């Protein structure tokens, strides 16, 4: 069975600092991996996705993620945090042979002025 | 372009009352449809998914049910609400035949008192 683990339910950074949100996955086959962002009281919005093309994936709002098969990781980064990046971020993987996306528990990002 | 609607946006219901949440998608045909619940401070829990009219798969046994009376309409129901049904309910869709990106609606905040 596939699974996703997000390390750290809360991450706090200063404005202008590096953002690093960690995600590790478990999958018996090459996975599709996603990062979604959720602003308060809103639905989820796709940030970026990995579908077996380039291992470094660039998304919206300056975010990017690198697929590392040897580490089974798909960490999300942004060089310089903005106040508007404060939100909850979800890593996700598609399960094998089905129609279900498995979501991590989420990481809430706080950005300090 | 495709859009997804959910209503109502917020709902306060007494314990034991019925529930009906509606989700509609525009601009696509035969989408895969999903219902998720997000409890306070927790991740997303997949409740139901549907790959076609009248085809519903349940992920979690509980007092909720789902129906898909039309191609782009997905309804979440309950005959008698429990306190534990409180949460943020999200509808999502993905392209027919694809397990790729999911697109989320704005959500319904349900409070059961």
B59 is written with which tokens? Answer: 């992920």
Nearest CB neighbour to B102, from listed A51, A101, A105: A101
Q: CA of B5: which chain A residue's CA is closest?
A: A43
- On whether the CB atoms of residues B29 and B95 are closer than 8 A, the answer is no
H/E segment holding residue A89: strand A87-94
Residues of B with CB under 8 A from a CB of A: 32, 42-44, 46, 49, 51, 59, 88, 90, 92, 94, 99-107, 109
A61 is written with which tokens? Answer: 């709002």
In a structure prediction context, what are the per-residue pLDDT tens digits for chain A, which is 113 residues long?
A: 778 999 999 999 999 999 999 999 988 777 889 999 999 889 999 999 988 778 899 999 999 999 998 999 999 999 999 999 999 999 999 865 566 788 999 999 999 99
Any CB–CB contact under 8 A between A20 and chain B?
Answer: no
CA distance to partner chain B, nearest, from residue A105 (Å): 4
The conformational region for residue A55 under phi > 0 = left, psi -120 to 50 = alpha, else beta, is: alpha
- On whether the CB atoms of residues B48 and B76 are closer than 8 A, the answer is yes
Highest mean pLDDT among A79-93, A98-112, B57-71, B91-105 belongs to A79-93
Nearest CB neighbour to B109, from listed A41, A44, A98: A41
pLDDT for the residue A95: 66
Positive/negative CA dihedral, B7, B10, B34, A106: positive
Query: Per-residue pLDDT for B42 more than 90?
Result: no
Reported residue count of chain A is 113
How do residues A58-90 score in pLDDT, each as one tens digit? 999 999 999 998 999 999 999 999 999 999 999
Which chain B residues are closer than 8 Å to A32 by Cβ? 99-100
pLDDT for the residue A109: 97
Q: Do B90 and A41 touch (CB under 8 A)?
A: no
Which chain A residues are closer than 8 Å to B37 by Cβ? none
pLDDT for the residue A96: 55
The DSSP code for A99 is S
Closest alpha carbon to A30 in A12, A53, A9: A53
The DSSP code for B16 is T
Q: Which residues contact A95 (CB under 8 A, 6 or more apart)?
A: A1, A2, A101, A102, B99
Closest alpha carbon to A11 in A92, A82, A112, A84: A112
Closest alpha carbon to A1 in A103, A101, A98, A96: A96
């Amino acid at each position: 069975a596939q699974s996703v683990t997000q390390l750290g339910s809360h991450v706090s950074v200063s404005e202008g600092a590096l953002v690093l949100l960690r995600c590790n996955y478990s999958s018996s086959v090459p996975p599709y991996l996603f990062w979604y962002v959720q602003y308060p009281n809103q639905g989820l919005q796709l940030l970026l996705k990995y579908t077996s093309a380039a291992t470094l994936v660039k998304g919206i709002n300056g975010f990017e993620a690198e697929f590392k098969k040897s580490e089974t990781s798909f960490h999300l980064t942004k060089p310089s945090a903005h106040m508007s990046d404060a939100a909850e971020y979800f890593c996700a993987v598609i399960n094998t042979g089905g129609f279900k996306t498995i979501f991590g528990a989420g990481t809430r990002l706080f950005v300090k002025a | 372009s495709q859009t997804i609607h959910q209503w109502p946006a917020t709902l306060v219901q007494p314990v034991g009352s019925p529930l009906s949440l509606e989700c509609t998608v525009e601009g696509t045909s035969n989408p895969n449809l999903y219902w998720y619940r997000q409890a306070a401070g927790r991740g997303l829990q997949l409740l139901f998914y549907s790959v076609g009219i009248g085809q519903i798969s349940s992920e979690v046994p509980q007092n909720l049910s789902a129906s898909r009376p039309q191609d782009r309409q997905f309804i979440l129901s309950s005959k008698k609400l429990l306190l534990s049904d409180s949460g943020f309910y999200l509808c999502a869709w993905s392209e027919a035949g694809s397990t790729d990106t999911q697109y989320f609606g704005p959500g319904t905040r349900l409070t059961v008192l």
